[in-house]
C-alpha cells in the first residue's frame, strides 16, 4: 500500500508551456477536476492556492506527483519542492498504467488523473531530490558528448568531400582534422591551389603548424604534391565543392571551441564550492578504478547523482540500461534477449569507454586492469566482442557500486583471493 493512501494527492501532467493538474481527496474521489495552469508566475501561484485549499479543508499535507519530462518539469518542481512534498515519477511507470480502460483515450486531463491515482494507490518508486549544480554538471557533460558527436559527423562529411575533389589527400596526414591539415586546407582547398602554391611558403606553413622541422615538412610536401597531381587528373573540379570544404572546416573549428569551453566550465564547476565535498569525493573514488578517466568519472557520477537511491548493484545495472530484456510466454522462453537500454544513455556510453580501456594494455605492455583483461580473455572465447564488453560493463557496475557504498578506493585483487576474503568474512558471525 502506498504511504499516500490516506492523504490528498495531486497529479500533474507537464507540457512545455502549460500543465494540467488534478486533485484527489483522501477517500480517492475527485476533489478538483483537471484544470490548466500556465507556466508563469500567475499559473504557479494559482496552483499553490488550490493545493493549500485542499490541505486546509482536510488538515492534511498533500503529495504532488509529476512525470520526469525532460526539462519541462524542472521549473515547476523547483518552485514547489520547498513548500510541498513533490514526487517525480519515471514515465515508464505511468505509461504502463495509462491504457487500463477498454476505450482508447489519450488527453492531458486523463493523464493528470492517472498520475494522481498512481501516486495515491500504488507503491511506486519516485524521486524527490534535485541538486541544481549536479543537474548543471550533467547538462554540461551531455552537451560535451553532443558536440563531440557533431564534430565527428562533420569530420566524416569533410572526408567524403575530399574523396571527391581531392582523392589521395587523406593519405597525406594521419588525421584530416589535425592542426596542420586544417591550416593547409584553409589556404589551399583544391589540388590546383597546391600545385600552384609557392613551395617554400607551403613547407613553412606545414612546419609552423606541425612543429616537426623542415625534414618532416618537406616529406609531407612531397606526398601532398603527388596527391595533388593525381587529384588534378581524376578529381572533380567544381568551385562550389571547394566552398563546401571551407564551410565544413569552419563548423569543425567552431565545435572545437565549444568543446574546449565546455571542458573548461566542467572543471571550473568541479573545483568550485557549489559542488559538495561528498560528490567530489565520489568522483575521486570512481577515478581510482583503472580505465576510468577524469571526464568519465565526472560523467558517470553526474548521471548517478545520489548513490543512496540504489540499494543493490542490480538496481544500478538497470539504471544504466544493462539489464536483459525478458521475452517469455507459456513454455516459450526466448534465448535472444538483448539489453533493455532503458537507462541513462550517456552513462552507458561512458561505461562502454571504460570497458574498452579495461581490456587493453598500456604502451609499456602492462594491462590497464589485469583482472578484467584475464576475465575477458578466458571467459569470452567464442563470443562476440560486444557480448564480452557488456560482461565487463556489468563487472564495472559492481566496482562502482562497491567503491561508492563502502567509500573506499578500488583495490585490484585476484578473484580467488577476493572470494577467500569474502568467505572468511561470512563465516565470522556464525562462529
Residue-wise DSSP of 341-373 = --S-HHHHHHHHHHHHHHTSB-TTS-BSSHHHH
Measured CA to CA, the distance from residue 282 to residue 288 in angstroms comes to 10
H or E element in which residue 262 lies: helix 239-271
Measured CA to CA, the distance from residue 262 to residue 266 in angstroms comes to 6
- Check residue 346 and give its pLDDT: 94
What is the reported pTM? 0.84
Measured CA to CA, the distance from residue 230 to residue 168 in angstroms comes to 8
Please answer whether residues 375 and 390 qualify as being in contact, where contact means their C-beta atoms are separated by less than 8 angstroms. no
Average pLDDT, the chain: 88
- Give the single-character DSSP code of 170: G
- Check residue 258 and give its pLDDT: 97
Please answer whether residues 354 and 296 qualify as being in contact, where contact means their C-beta atoms are separated by less than 8 angstroms. yes
Encode pLDDT of 265-319 as tens digits. Answer: 999 999 999 999 999 999 999 999 999 999 999 999 999 988 888 888 998 998 9
The answer to whether the Cα torsion of 361, 366, 367, 368 is positive or negative is negative
Measured CA to CA, the distance from residue 96 to residue 229 in angstroms comes to 64
Confidence of residue 431 (pLDDT cuts 50, 70, 90): very low
H or E element in which residue 93 lies: helix 91-95
Encode pLDDT of 2-31 as tens digits. Answer: 788 899 999 999 998 999 999 999 999 999
CB neighbour list of residue 294: distance below 8 Å, 6 or more residues apart? 287
Encode pLDDT of 105-139 as tens digits. Answer: 678 888 899 999 999 998 888 887 788 899 999 99
Encode pLDDT of 368-415 as tens digits. Answer: 998 898 888 888 777 888 888 999 999 999 999 999 999 999 988 776
Q: Mapping DSSP to helix (H, G, I), strand (E, B) and coil, where does residue 202 land?
A: helix
CB neighbour list of residue 113: distance below 8 Å, 6 or more residues apart? 11, 22, 24, 30, 34
Please answer whether residues 220 and 205 qualify as being in contact, where contact means their C-beta atoms are separated by less than 8 angstroms. no
What is the mean predicted confidence (pLDDT) over 164-171? 89
H or E element in which residue 152 lies: helix 132-165
Please answer whether residues 326 and 337 qualify as being in contact, where contact means their C-beta atoms are separated by less than 8 angstroms. yes
Please answer whether residues 224 and 184 qualify as being in contact, where contact means their C-beta atoms are separated by less than 8 angstroms. yes
Encode pLDDT of 223-254 as tens digits. Answer: 999 999 998 888 888 778 888 889 999 999 99
What is the mean predicted confidence (pLDDT) over 208-229? 91
Encode pLDDT of 69-97 as tens digits. Answer: 878 899 999 999 989 999 998 887 777 66
Amino acid at each position: 500500500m502506498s504511504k499516500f493512501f490516506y492523504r490528498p494527492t495531486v497529479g500533474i501532467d507537464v507540457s512545455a508551456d502549460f500543465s494540467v493538474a488534478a486533485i484527489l481527496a483522501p477517500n480517492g474521489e475527485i476533489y478538483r477536476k483537471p484544470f490548466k495552469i500556465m507556466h508563469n508566475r500567475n499559473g504557479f501561484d494559482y496552483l499553490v492556492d488550490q493545493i493549500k485549499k485542499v490541505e486546509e479543508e482536510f488538515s492534511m499535507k498533500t503529495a504532488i506527483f509529476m512525470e520526469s519530462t525532460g526539462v519541462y518539469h524542472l521549473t515547476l518542481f523547483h518552485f514547489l519542492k520547498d513548500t510541498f512534498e513533490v514526487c517525480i515519477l519515471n514515465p515508464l511507470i505511468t505509461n504502463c498504467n495509462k491504457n487500463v480502460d477498454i476505450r482508447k483515450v489519450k488527453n492531458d486531463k486523463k493523464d493528470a488523473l492517472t498520475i494522481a491515482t498512481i501516486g495515491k494507490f500504488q507503491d511506486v518508486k519516485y524521486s524527490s531530490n534535485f541538486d541544481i549544480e549536479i543537474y548543471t554538471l550533467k547538462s554540461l557533460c551531455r552537451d560535451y558528448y553532443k558536440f563531440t558527436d557533431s564534430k565527428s559527423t562533420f569530420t566524416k562529411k569533410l572526408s567524403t568531400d575530399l574523396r571527391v575533389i581531392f582523392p589521395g589527400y587523406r593519405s597525406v596526414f594521419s588525421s584530416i582534422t589535425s592542426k596542420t591539415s586544417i591550416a593547409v586546407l584553409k589556404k589551399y582547398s583544391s589540388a590546383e591551389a597546391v600545385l600552384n602554391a609557392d613551395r617554400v611558403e607551403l613547407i613553412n606553413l606545414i612546419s609552423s603548424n606541425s612543429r616537426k622541422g623542415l625534414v618532416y615538412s618537406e616529406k609531407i610536401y612531397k606526398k601532398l604534391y603527388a596527391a595533388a597531381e593525381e587529384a588534378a587528373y581524376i578529381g572533380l573540379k567544381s568551385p562550389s565543392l571547394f566552398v563546401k570544404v571551407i564551410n565544413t572546416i569552419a563548423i569543425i573549428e567552431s565545435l572545437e571551441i565549444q568543446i574546449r569551453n565546455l571542458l573548461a566550465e566542467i572543471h571550473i564547476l568541479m573545483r568550485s564550492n557549489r559542488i559538495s565535498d561528498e560528490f567530489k569525493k565520489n568522483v575521486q573514488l570512481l577515478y581510482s578504478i583503472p580505465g576510468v578517466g577524469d571526464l568519465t568519472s565526472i560523467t558517470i557520477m553526474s548521471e548517478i547523482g545520489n548513490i543512496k537511491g540504489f540499494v543493490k548493484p542490480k538496481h544500478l545495472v538497470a539504471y544504466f540500461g544493462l539489464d536483459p530484456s525478458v521475452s517469455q510466454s507459456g513454455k516459450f522462453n526466448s534465448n535472444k534477449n538483448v539489453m533493455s537500454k532503458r537507462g541513462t544513455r550517456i552513462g552507458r556510453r561512458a561505461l562502454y569507454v571504460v570497458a574498452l580501456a579495461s581490456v587493453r594494455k598500456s604502451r609499456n605492455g602492462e594491462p590497464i586492469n589485469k583482472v578484467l583483461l584475464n576475465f575477458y580473455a578466458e571467459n569470452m572465447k567464442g563470443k562476440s566482442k560486444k557480448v564480452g564488453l557488456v560482461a565487463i560493463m556489468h563487472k564495472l557496475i559492481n566496482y562502482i557500486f562497491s567503491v561508492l557504498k563502502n567509500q573506499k578506493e578500488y583495490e585490484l585483487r585476484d578473484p580467488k583471493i577476493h572470494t577467500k576474503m569474502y568467505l572468511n568474512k561470512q563465516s565470522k558471525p556464525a562462529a
